[in-house]
Amino acid sequence: MMELSNNTTEELRVPSEERVTQLRNLIDTLRIADEIASKGYLISSSELADLMDINASAVTSRGDHWSWRNWVVSRVRREGNQILWQLERVD
């Protein structure tokens, strides 16, 4: 019979370097969102999904106006087959 090992909290923790890398990536993402908002850029659903790290269909299913972290996301218009979104910073 095979013995199951009990995983300790230490074994389940993400290594420190990896956590720091994840935080750096998050800061980069937030800076990009901030620049998009401050410059008034419009981005497509797929670009917004990439920024948020979600599926593009999840973006469009949220409706025309919703919050994400420090931004309000608004559907602005459709160009051809693309929906364009605008980010507005809220503090």
- Asked if residue 65 is part of any domain, the answer here is yes
Which residues of the chain fall short of a pLDDT of 50?
A: none
Going through the chain in order, the beta strands assigned E by DSSP cover 42-44, 65-68, 71-79, 82-89
Residue 4 lies in a domain: no
- Asked whether residue 46 is domain-assigned, the answer is yes
Number of domains making up the chain: 1
Residue 11 inside a domain? The answer is no
pTM of the entire structure?
0.79
Tokens of 59: 């973006």
Q: Angle 45-52/16-39 helices, nearest 10 degrees?
A: 150
Please report the pLDDT score of residue 14 as a whole number.
Answer: 74
Q: What is the pLDDT of residues 9-35, one digit of tens each?
A: 555 677 889 999 999 999 999 999 999
Residue 3 lies inside a defined structural domain of this protein:
no
Q: Structure tokens of 76?
A: 């602005």
Residue 27 pLDDT: 97
Q: Does residue 28 form part of some domain?
A: yes
pLDDT at 15: 85
What is the domain-level CATH number for residue 85? 1.10.10
Predicted pLDDT at 63:
94
Q: Is residue 1 assigned to a domain?
A: no
